């Protein structure tokens, strides 16, 4: 049996998630989209049913499920026409905390995250001057006695306004003093409660879709020494592991989006009658939907292959990046086919296609662009010369 087969366990997961999503129809999401408002009721419903605690070990109040199960949950949310972007970070940051956090950190925070009294939704890595060149980030953490002092800026830090905790990457050793190119960065689990206006300034960024993203400024933010995750200076390695889970989970969301678009487009093609017949009888309508479906199926296979490797304890960088690229392409192809099938009605808000179309477009760029994934595969798999940054050529 292959990893992406719908066995009984995953069928039950899908049915449970679908029941929650049924409480939040398209009208709910359209209203939030028009106001750029956070889907707090939706997130609370997921917490109530335990879905956001899926990957937290049972000893801390979670379900102790695998990344594969987490991928199924997020995929189903998107398949039902909802949007997990409001809360998916709680799953993909969990890998960093579970694999590298101390026993004390887990005991302090995981029970609250599991029961919903704490939210871990913010992932502070990207900066305005470095972008995806993570090793060039400028946010610093300086040790002073029993504290770390944080200064710098992060951008595209989604959900920071709705999070109590942030997984933060900062430089603890100047780049020129680091033992190697990848040393000198450290990960912190920052408790932001009471810190906004007192070392943290959060500024919302309005975007083409309702994504609750922000830029975050740190001005002599003081956090306790035990906020450090793992070993000082090894944070880049920890973040790469976390990014693998992030890319797999977001790829699963893209698969869910593709399935939503394909059903929406196919249903409309069966119902819409022009020139006395359903438009779905025309190959010009059928073929784009059929091709998008084939590409979705192929992408789905690599997504769950990557998840299975991660669950087995590997760091499947190639598979995770490939899954993200192919799944994002599949969802965008399905979005194009769906919108084209709807014609002018695809641009009408009431059909939800235009909203999902905007949301799907994000993943051609985030959390990593397609071009950088291709660079990664060219260098790491095909052995081609590095085409960007230090050591180019």
The tokens for 122 are 């913010």
Instruction: Tell me if residue 246 is catalytic.
Output: yes
The tokens for 136 are 């060039």
37-67 core/surface letters (b: 16 or more CB in 10 A; e: else): ebbeebbebbbeebbbbbbbbeebbbbebbb
The answer to whether the Cα torsion of 19, 364, 347, 212 is positive or negative is positive
Exactly one of 127, 161, 215, 246 is catalytic; name it: 246
Beta strands in the chain (DSSP E): 120-124, 140-144, 147-155, 165-171, 185-191, 200-205, 213-224, 228-229, 273-274, 277-278
Helix (H) or strand (E) holding 340: helix 317-342
DSSP letters along 80-125, please?
TT--GGGTTHHHHTHHHHHHHS-HHHHHHHHHHHHHTSS-EEEEE-
d(CA 263, CA 266): 5
Across-strand partners of 168? 124, 188
CB atoms near residue 207 (< 10 Å): 14
The answer to whether the Cα torsion of 352, 160, 330, 7 is positive or negative is negative
Residues known to be catalytic: 246
């Amino acid at each position: 049996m292959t990893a992406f087969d719908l066995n009984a366990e995953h069928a039950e997961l899908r049915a449970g998630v679908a029941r929650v999503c049924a409480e939040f129809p398209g009208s709910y999401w359209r209203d939030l989209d028009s106001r750029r408002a956070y889907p707090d009721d939706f997130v609370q419903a997921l917490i109530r049913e335990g879905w956001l605690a899926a990957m937290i070990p049972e000893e801390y109040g979670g379900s102790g499920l695998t990344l594969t199960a987490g991928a199924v949950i997020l995929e189903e949310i998107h398949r039902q026409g909802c949007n997990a972007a409001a809360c998916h970070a709680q799953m993909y940051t969990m890998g960093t905390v579970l694999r590298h956090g101390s026993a004390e950190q887990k005991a302090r925070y995981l029970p609250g995250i599991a029961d919903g009294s704490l939210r871990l939704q913010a992932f502070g890595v990207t900066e305005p001057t470095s972008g995806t060149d993570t090793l060039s980030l400028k946010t610093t953490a300086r040790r002073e006695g029993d504290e770390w002092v944080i200064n710098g800026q992060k951008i595209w830090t989604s959900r920071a306004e709705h999070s109590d905790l942030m997984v933060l990457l900062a430089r603890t050793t100047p780049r020129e003093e680091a033992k190697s190119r990848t040393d000198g960065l450290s990960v912190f689990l920052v408790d932001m409660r009471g810190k906004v206006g007192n070392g943290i300034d959060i500024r919302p960024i309005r975007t083409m879709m309702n994504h609750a993203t922000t830029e975050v400024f740190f001005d002599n933010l003081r956090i306790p020494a035990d906020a450090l995750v793992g070993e000082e200076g090894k944070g880049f390695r920890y973040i790469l592991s976390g990014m693998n889970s992030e890319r797999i989970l977001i790829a699963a969301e893209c698969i869910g989006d593709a399935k939503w678009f394909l059903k929406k487009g196919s249903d409309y093609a069966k119902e819409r009658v022009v020139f006395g017949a359903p438009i779905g009888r025309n190959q010009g309508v059928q073929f784009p939907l059929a091709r998008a479906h084939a590409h979705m199926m192929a992408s789905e296979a690599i997504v769950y292959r990557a998840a299975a490797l991660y669950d087995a304890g590997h760091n499947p960088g190639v598979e995770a990046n490939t899954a993200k690229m192919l799944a994002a392409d599949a969802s965008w192809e399905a979005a194009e086919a769906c919108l084209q099938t709807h014609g002018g009605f695809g641009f009408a808000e009431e059909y939800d296609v235009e909203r999902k179309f905007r949301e799907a477009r994000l993943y051609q760029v985030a959390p990593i662009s397609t071009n950088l994934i291709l660079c990664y595969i060219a260098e790491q798999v095909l052995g081609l010369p590095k085409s960007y940054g230090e050591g180019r050529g």
